Structure 1
C-alpha cells in the first residue's frame, strides 16, 4: 500500500503543472507518460469513453421579468427587435417596463413650460477607434442580425398593471411573469392567466413614439445645453435617444402637480402603468439589440422652465426604468422544437436561446459491459467507481480513516464532455457566424454551476467570449467544444456525493455571457429541469450539435472522455 501511495506522488505533481499550463491555453492538453519515457515512469496513462444519453428539452413558460438585475457589466438587459436565426427562423422581442420618478410630490413653480422630453436608453458599445479629431467611433455590442434591414418600433403607454407581489401566494413573494412564445401576439403568463399586451394600450392611435424604419445607430450621442455662447455639447456612447411630445408629458406630469398620483412610487405605478416597446418585422429579417434598460442613464427626462418673469430657471423631472421590466417573445420557427427521447437520446441537440431549446446530458447512463464478458450487466456509474476506486479483499471500497474519502487506484487527469456542431450549419451568409458561440453547462439538480466552473480562474468580466475558457471550452475551428468535468467526477469518486450534491445530469444551453449565472424559473415544469440560465434567454442565437445515439457518426457523437493515470504494478 505504501509503495502505491508513493508512486502516485509523481502524477499529482504533473497534474498541478498541467493545470497551470492549461490556464494559459484555450484547449485541453493531456501529458502522456512518454514525456519522461515509459521506462522512466512508474505510472501509465490512458483514456476511456463512457456512456452518455443526451436529449432535447423544449423550453417554454420561462420567467421573463427582471432579466437584467445583475451586477455583471457585460451584456445583461432586455432584448428588443427582430432576429432571423439561419437554423431556426424568426424571433421578435418586445419590452414592457414600468417607470418610476426619481422624486415625488414635485413642485413645478409658476408658469412651467416644457422645453423638451428626451427618452434615453444606452446601447452596449465598445470604442473601436478614434477619428482624426480624436472623436471615438463605436461598435454596438450585443447586436444580432442584419442591421441594414429596418424594423418597425412603436412605443405605447401601457394600461396593464405589473404587480410587485403575487396575490395568489400567501408568503407575499414577488410576482413572476413567464414567456408565451408560441403565441402569435406579444403576451405573457402570470401563473393564472394570459396577458395580451396589445389589449392594454392607452390611445393606440397616438403612440408615444413610432418609427416604421428603425435601425439602431452606432454614432455617439450628442447632448447640447444652453444657447449661443453658453451652448455646451457633450458626447456619450450610442443610445436609443428620441425626442418625445412636450404637450403629452405636460398633461401627464406637470398638470398633475399636487395630485396623489405623483406622491409615491406605488401611486405612480398605478397611475402611469408603464411603456410598451413593440417591435415588428417589416420583412422576414431585421436586427435585435440587448438594451441596457436598467442602467442609471436609461430614463425619460423632462426639461422645463418655470418661475416668475425675469427669474425663470430650467429644471428636470426624471423617470427611470425600474420596477418590473419584462421581455415578450413571438417565435416563428422554421424547424420544430420538441422534447426528446430520455431513454435512447436524440440524433441532434438543439440549443436555441430566448424561448427555445436546451440539451440534457445524463452521464454514466444505462448499463455497460464492465468485465468484458459481452453482457451489459452493470450500471455505468458503478462500473466507473469500480474502475477508479481501490477495493479490499472483500470487494468493498477502501476509505481513508482520517479524511473519510475513498482511496483511488486511478487518478483522473482530465474529464471532457466533447461536443461537435453539425456539419454545414447555415450561417446566413455570415462567414464567422458560429465562431462566437459559447455553450454553458450547469448542474440541473442543484440549479448551479459545475464544480469545474466554480474553480476556473479564467474569469474575464469585461469579455465574456474569453471567460471561463478552461471549464467551458471555446469553439475550435472544426466546431468542437470541450466542457470540463474533471472536478465534478472527482467529487463523485472521492466522496460518493452523487446522491447529494454531485448529480450526473448536466444542462447545456447557448449563452452570450457565461459570466451571468443567475437562473430563471420555468412555470409548472413537471420535469427535473426547473430553471434555465437567464443568459440563454437573453441570447437569440442558436446552434445544433450532434447527439449521443448509436446512429450518430462515432467521431462526432457527444462523448464523455476521461484521461487517467495509474501506478504500475
Structure 2
C-alpha cells in the first residue's frame, strides 16, 4: 500500500515538472509574484511618446457619485460644482383627506465617512470622520436649493430612433436661468443655507412616548439634513394631489421638475467640495390630516400622521464651472492637444471637465518588429509614471489612475484578465494596479504603476494585434469602464472614461520626452527571458 502510494505521488510530481518546463511563457499572476525583484530576467526599456489632450465639456448625467461645493486646486484652478436632479415618488398619491397640515419637510443626503475611524462613546454617541472631502475642514459656503424649472428628458430623438438624452458639465447656466422662485432651504439656522458646511456630527433625534413617557434617542450617521419651506411644499405638493399631479411619476416629473443645488462663496471662505451619493437622497414631507370613519351611522374623525417621500433617483447632471485664475494659469495655457510627435514633458490629468494623456508605445521605427524577431518570452511589462512631487506638494492627490485602449474606448486586456477583488470594489484589479505609491515618511505620492504584460505579449506574439493608442486618466472607480461623450469632439478623441468625469482631482506626471530627467522619464519596462 505504502509503495503504491509513493510511486503514484512520484508520477504526479514528475508530470507537474514536465508540464511546467513546457510552459515558459508565465502567466500574469506568476509575473505579479515576482514583484520588483526580477532575479535574472533581462530588462528592456522603450521610449513612450505621451502628450496632453484636453477634454472640455463632457457628458455628466446620472453619475453614481457627484461633487458638490467649491474647490481651489493649486494646479488646476477653482471649480464650483452644482447639481440638478429629478425627484421620483416612492408611491403615487391620488387623494388627501381633509385639513392637511404640513409638519416638516426634510431633505437628507448621506455623507461618505471612514468606518475604520468611527469612535463609539460610552453613552452610545459616535464621532465620525468624513471621507471624500477636499478643501479646508468645515469651510462655510452659501447653499441654495431651488425647485428646478428644467425638464430633463429621458430620451433624445436623433437620427430617427430614441437615444438616451445627454447632459453636459457646462450646462449650469441652462439650469440656473430657469430655477423656480426663491430658495427652499430657508431655515433660520444659517448652517443650512448662507453658512452651510459639510458637518461630521451625527444626527440625534430624541422623542418621548405620549403614553409611556419613555424617552428614545435615534442616532444616524452624518449627512446633509435641510429643513425646507413647509408652506411651499403644502402648495406645490399636497394641494396638487387633487389635480392628479401625483397620480403617476411621469405626470409628477413634468409638474415638479426636480431640485437644483447651487453653491456660492460665503464671505472670505474658500469653501470645500464633497463627493455625494445623491441617489441615496430624499425629501420627506410629514403632514397630518383628518381621517373620517363611520360605524353604525356614527362618524369619527381622527387626526392621523402621513408622509410623502420623494427620492432623488431620477435623471441628474453634474454641473461644473471652472475659474482658472492664477492657480490654473499654466494648465489653462496648455494647447488642447500637446506635441504628438515629441511628446510633452509634463502630463496633466484632471477629472471632471478636464484632461487626459495619450500614449504611443513603440514609436521608434522598426522597434516592435525587431523585438518580435527575437522571440522574447515576456514575463512582465509595466508603465511607471513619476509624479511631479514639487508641483503636487500642496494638492490632494488622486488615489488611482486608469489606463485604457483609447483607440477603441475600452479596457486593455490586462484589465479584463485581472480577477483580483476586494471588499471595497474600488480596490479591485490590484494586479493591473494604477494605485498611488507614496513615500513612507511624507505620505506624498511618488509613482503610479500599471501592468500591461498581456497587452505587450499580444503585440509581440500575434501578427494581427494592433498597437493602439492608450489613454490615461484619473479615476473615481476602477470598476466603472464606460465612456462618456465629449460635447465637442476633435480629431483625436470624442469621449473619455466616465469614472474620470466623476473625479474632482488632478495630478501632474512626467512624460516620456527626451528632455525629462532620466530617473523621472516615462518608459515602458519589459522583463523577459530569451528562448532556448
TM-score for the superposition, normalised by structure 1: 0.80
Q: CA deviation at 1:216?
A: 0.7
Aligned to 1:550: 514
* Corresponding residue of 2:198: 216
Q: Which one of the candidate residues 289, 299, 311 is aligned to 2:282?
A: 299
- Give 1:155 shift: 0.7
Does the residue aligned with 2:433 lie in a helix, a strand or coil?
coil
- Partner residue in 1 for 2:9: none
* Alignment match, 2:407: 445
2-structure distance, mates of 1:175, 1:414: 43
1:455 aligns with one of 411, 417, 422? 417
Question: 1:28-47 alignment to 2 at 5 Å?
Answer: 28-33=35-40, 45-47=41-43
For 2:183 and 2:237, locate their aligned partners in 1 and report how far apart those are by CA, in whole Å. Answer: 21
- Taking a change above 3 Å as real, the CA distance of residues 565 and 206 of structure 1, as seen in their structure-2 partners, is closer
Q: Aligned equivalents of 2:517 and 2:19: distance in 1? A: 37
CA contact (8 A) 1:57 1:359 kept: yes
Please state how far the C-alpha of 1:321 moved relative to its aligned partner. Answer: 0.8
In the TM superposition, what is the alpha-carbon distance from 1:225 to its structure 2 partner? 5.8
Find the counterpart in structure 2 of residue 471 from structure 1.
Answer: 432
**Residue pairs, 1:151-550, within 5 angstroms:** 151-180=141-170, 187-188=171-172, 196-204=174-182, 211-224=193-206, 227-228=209-210, 229=213, 232-282=216-266, 283=268, 285-295=270-280, 298-308=281-291, 311-333=302-324, 334-335=328-329, 336=332, 337-338=334-335, 339-367=337-365, 378=366, 380-387=367-374, 409-428=375-394, 433-434=396-397, 437-462=399-424, 464=426, 466-477=427-438, 479-499=446-466, 503-550=467-514
Q: What's the C-alpha RMSD, in Å, of the aligned pairs?
A: 2.6
What is the CA deviation profile of residues 57-86 of structure 1, one whole-angstrom value per residue up to 9, with x for unaligned ones?
111121110111xxxxxxxx1110011112
Partners of 2:163 and 2:207 in 1: how far apart? 44
Structure-1 separation of matches of 2:513 and 2:18 = 39
- Tell me the distance in 2 between the aligned counterparts of 1:12 and 1:424: 45
Q: Which moved more, 1:209-218 or 1:244-253?
A: 209-218
Change (3 A) 1:206 1:459: closer
Paired residue total: 486
CA separation of 1:489 and 1:284: change in aligned 2, threshold 3 A: farther
Which ranges in structure 1 are unaligned for 5 or more consecutive residues? Answer: 1-5, 34-44, 69-76, 181-186, 189-194, 368-377, 388-408
SS of equivalent to 2:278: coil
Partner of 1:36: none
| Residue 418 to residue 386, structure 1, CA distance change in 2 (3 Å) | same
CA gap of 1:524–1:330, structure 2 versus 1, over 3 A, is: closer
Q: Distance in 1 between matches of 2:270 and 2:371?
A: 49
Deviation at 1:7, TM superposition (A): 11
**Which residue of 1 is the match for residue 123 of structure 2?**
133
How far, CA to CA, are the matches of 1:205 and 1:463 in structure 2? 37
Q: Deviations over 1:231-250 (max 9, x none)?
A: 54322221111111211111
Task: Indicate whether 1:19 and 2:29 are aligned.
Answer: yes
Report the CA distance shift for 1:284/1:416 in structure 2 as closer, same or farther (over 3 A): farther
Whole-Å separation in 2 of the counterparts to 1:442 and 1:521:
16
C-alpha distance 561-529 of structure 1, shift in aligned 2 (>3 A): same
CA distance in 2, matches of 1:346, 1:199: 40
Give the 3 Å change call, closer, same or farther, for CA 381–522 of structure 1 in structure 2: farther
Contact 1:90 1:284 (C-alpha < 8 Å) held by counterparts: no
The verdict on how the C-alpha distance between 1:273 and 1:519 changes in structure 2, with shifts beyond 3 A counting, is: same
- Structure 1 residues 284 and 357: CA distance shift in structure 2, 3 A: farther
Against the structure 1 CA distance between its residues 136 and 515, is the aligned structure 2 distance closer, same or farther, given a 3 Å change threshold? farther
- Report the secondary structure of 1:319's partner residue: strand
SS in 2 for 1:549: coil
SS at match of 2:219: strand
Correspondence 1:16-95 to 2 at 5 A: 19-20=29-30, 22=32, 28-33=35-40, 45-68=41-64, 77-95=65-83
**Corresponding position of 1:146:** 136
Please give the TM-score of this superposition, normalised by the length of structure 2: 0.85
For residue 373 of structure 2, give the secondary structure of its aligned residue in structure 1. Answer: helix
- Report the Cα offset of residue 162 of structure 1: 1.2
Q: Which moved more, 1:263-272 or 1:507-516?
A: 507-516
Cα offsets for 1:313-342 (capped at 9, x unmatched): 111111111221101101112231432111
Q: Could you say what secondary structure the match of 1:121 adopts?
A: strand
1:30, 1:414 within 8 Å by CA — same for their partners in 2?
Answer: no
- For structure 2, the residue ranges without an aligned partner over 5 or more in a row are 1-16, 292-299, 440-445
Quote how far apart the aligned CAs of 1:175 are.
0.6
SS in 2 for 1:249: helix
The whole-number CA distance in structure 1 between the counterparts of 2:18 and 2:530 is: 9
Does the 8 Å CA contact 1:416/1:485 hold for their aligned counterparts? yes
Structure 2 Cα separation of the partners of residues 168 and 19 of structure 1: 46
Q: 1:493 to 1:426 in 2, by over 3 A?
A: closer
Q: Deviations over 1:210-246 (max 9, x none)?
A: 6121111112223456654265432222111111121
Q: Aligned to 1:260, what secondary structure does the other structure show?
A: coil
C-alpha separation between the residues in 2 aligned to 1:236 and 1:165? Answer: 37
